[in-house]
Amino acid sequence: MLRTIVFAILVLLMFERCAQMVPPTGGKRDSIPPNLVESNPINKTLNFKGRKVELFFDEYVVVDNINQKLVITPEADNPYSYKQNGMSVLLTFKNQFKDSTTYTLNFGDAIKDFAEKNPAKNLKIVFSTGSTLDSGRVYGTLKDIRTGKPLFDALVGLYNVSDTLDIAKQKPYYFSRTDSSGVFSIENIQTRDYKLIAIDDKSRNMLYNAKDERMGFWGKTIKAGTDSVAYNLNMYLSDNTQLKVQRTLPKVNNYTVVFSKAIEHAEVTFVNKDSLPYLLEPNGTNLKFFNVEPHPDTTIVKLKTLDSLGKTTEFEQKIAFQAQRGKTRQLDPVSLTTLPEANKPVTNTFIYKLILNKPVRSLDDQKIAIISDSLTHEPLSAFKYSWNKNHNILTIDAKSFAKDTVKFDIPKGSIVTVEGDTLPKTMLRHPVLNEEDYGVIRGRVTNADTSMHFILDLVDEQYKVIETLHESPYVFKNIPQGKYFLRITIDKNRNKRWDTGQMDKNLQPEPIYYNPDKILLKANFELNDINITIPEEK
């Protein structure tokens, strides 16, 4: 009897195991996205008064980061919760929707099938709380003005026209996000006047952060629904925040004033005829003063700064170094960089820069030598050279007769900084450029009148500037083999740099255009008639 019972239990277990549902282990992968079969309210419903939106699909679905991906326009400021129930998703809103308004719920890829996570495509519900649906539409593209590349997932907004519009504090009334091609489309909007503005919106809070987000705007008010043109916006950085002294870093040897953003120039005026060496560090935010005896305990300076927008700001600043402890100071080491960079090839006639991290007090131009192929030693005094205003950058008009290598021999003690320290013995080496290993690119700028000023850049595939010219016809010589783009900037204010836009002044950035064709350059080749055309302004 016991054997019979045990046998029966084993048979039941085998049948139960055979009846278990397991996913198939082979076959074709499911690539079909879930389809919306019904919604409540149905799409394009009028006079909707409810607070719940429910979607029904033809298969089991999951919800993926819906709070980030669901775009509701106009911006409703109406919190919601969601509930996933097999083949349906229910949204419950806290408040009633605003009367006589058309709302669009664009789900993006927030809802996917359960098995393979294929997102539902073009999932959008439109309804109106009034008796009509708004039919206005605004569309276009975004691109980065410096690279010409389209921008993905940037926020494009329609703002109510106002003299007090502040996109750092006000969210757009209608908005959309760009696809991978930089294309945007804002639909079912009221036909009236708007301000069209785009921002990076990296934080996804729909507010503009000028410190690190690009923006672009249409210079005129647009009327959604009546304008049939595509709005193509250029995006750029434009930090219009007020420049401030963010903090100070007092030390025994130096005192650093740290600004809230990078500046391009600082004019320093010392009060009471005192003086200290100083320099603006390469990051553009740190203005460093050096402790050189004798000087009073506190030095007062007036600062006049210039930022990237051309705006000047004036400060009065007290410079007070920390008290020294002990008999000797611990100095920051002297560092040196060069242009061209170390080991980069040079021609026999070239401009050379020595860049130090401290102002220089003295230089012995008899000891520093330029060596050609280890045979010819010429002292620096034989060449023309000059210092910058802060005495930390030495520019040399260099010449050599080397066939293989040019060297700069800088003995210890030949360069002494304002702090009394020096470089260790330094030997800088550069191979002599072999023209057969490089190429030449020639061409001209077309459609440019004689009064037009421009900046012509040869850039690589990472948009790093290889060389810059300002004339036409042009010649780029000694260019390494590689792939390049030709870029031209219209220098409207003739300051030989690109100037960004300023929305508060309704000022667009200086135009930038690319030659559409990539340049493929081989060693020992000359490419001629590589012309770039400036489009006619409309």
3-class DSSP state of 45? strand
Instruction: Tell me which of 23-27, 196-200, 252-256, 500-504 is least confident.
Output: 23-27
Dig out the tokens for 140 from the structure: 């276009």
pLDDT of residue 118: 93
Tens digits of per-residue pLDDT, 426-435? 999 999 999 9
CB under 8 Å to 486, separation ≥6 — which residues?
A: 443, 456, 457, 458, 514, 515, 519, 530, 532
Angle at 379 between CA 375 and CA 381, to 5 degrees: 155
Nearest to 256 by CA among 178, 175, 358, 372: 358
Say how far apart CA 277 and CA 289 lie, in whole Å. 6
pLDDT tens-digit profile of 302-342? 999 999 898 999 999 999 999 888 777 788 899 999 999 98
Residues 376 and 489: their CA atoms lie apart, in Å, by: 43
Whole-number CA gyration radius for the chain: 33
For the domain with range 437-533, which CATH number is right: 2.40.50.100, 3.40.109.10, 2.60.40.10, 3.20.20.70? 2.60.40.10
What's the whole-number average pLDDT of the chain?
90
pLDDT digits (tens, 9 = 90+) for 97-110: 999 999 999 898 89
Taking domain 245-319, whether its CATH number is 2.60.40.1220 is answered by yes
Q: What is the pLDDT of residue 226?
A: 67
Say how far apart CA 351 and CA 397 lie, in whole Å. 5
3-state DSSP assignment of residue 14: helix
Cα 472–chain centre separation: 30
pLDDT tens profile 147-193: 999 999 999 999 999 888 999 999 999 999 999 999 999 989 998 99
Q: Give the span between the Cα atoms of 385 and 397, in whole angstroms.
A: 6
* Pair 206, 120: CB distance under 8 Å: no
CB atoms within 10 A of CB 414: 20
Domains 136-237 and 245-319 alike in fold: yes
Closest CA to 169 of 202, 200, 210: 210
Task: Determine the 3-state secondary structure of 429 from DSSP.
Answer: strand
User: Domain coordinates of the chain in residue numbers?
Assistant: 36-128, 136-237, 245-319, 336-433, 437-533
pLDDT number for residue 16? 47
Let me know: does 314 contact 334? Beta carbons within 8 Å. Answer: no
- pLDDT value of position 30: 66
**Does the domain made of 336-433 have the CATH classification 2.60.40.1220?**
yes
- pLDDT (mean) for 72-79: 88
- For the segment 369-376, the average pLDDT, to the nearest whole number, is 89
User: What pLDDT is recorded for position 316?
Assistant: 95
- What average pLDDT score do residues 199-219 get? 93
Give how far Cα 113 sits from Cα of 30, 67, 69, 88, 394, Å: 10, 18, 16, 11, 65
Question: Is it true that domain 36-128 has CATH number 2.40.50.100?
Answer: no
Residue 204 has pLDDT above 90, yes or no: no
Asked whether residue 10 carries a pLDDT value surpassing 60, the answer given is no
Q: Is 421 helix (H, G, I), strand (E, B) or coil?
A: coil
310 torsion bin: left (phi>0), alpha (psi -120 to 50), beta (else): left
Distance CA(477)–CA(460), nearest Å, equals 15
Q: Is the pLDDT of residue 130 over 90?
A: yes
Phi, psi of 273 (to 5 degrees): 60, 20
The per-residue pLDDT for 324 is 83
List all residues 6 or more positions away from 478 whose beta carbon is below 8 Å from its beta carbon.
347, 433, 435, 438, 440
Cα 471 to the chain's mean position, in Å? 28
Are 428 and 516 contacting, i.e. CB atoms less than 8 angstroms apart? Answer: no
Q: For position 27, what pLDDT does the model report?
A: 53
Cα-Cα end-to-end distance for the chain: 99
Give the whole-number percent of the chain exceeding pLDDT 70.
94
pLDDT band at residue 227 under the 50/70/90 scheme: low
| pLDDT tens, residue by residue, 474-501 | 999 999 999 999 999 999 999 999 999 9
Rounded CA separation 466/238 (Å): 24
User: Please, what CATH class does the domain formed by 136-237 belong to?
Assistant: mainly beta
Lookup: tokens for 348: 């026999």
3-state secondary structure 248-313: EEECCCEEEEEECCCEEEEEEEEHHHCCCCEEECCCCCEEEEECCCCCCCCEEEEEEEEECCCCEE
What pLDDT is recorded for position 11? Answer: 44
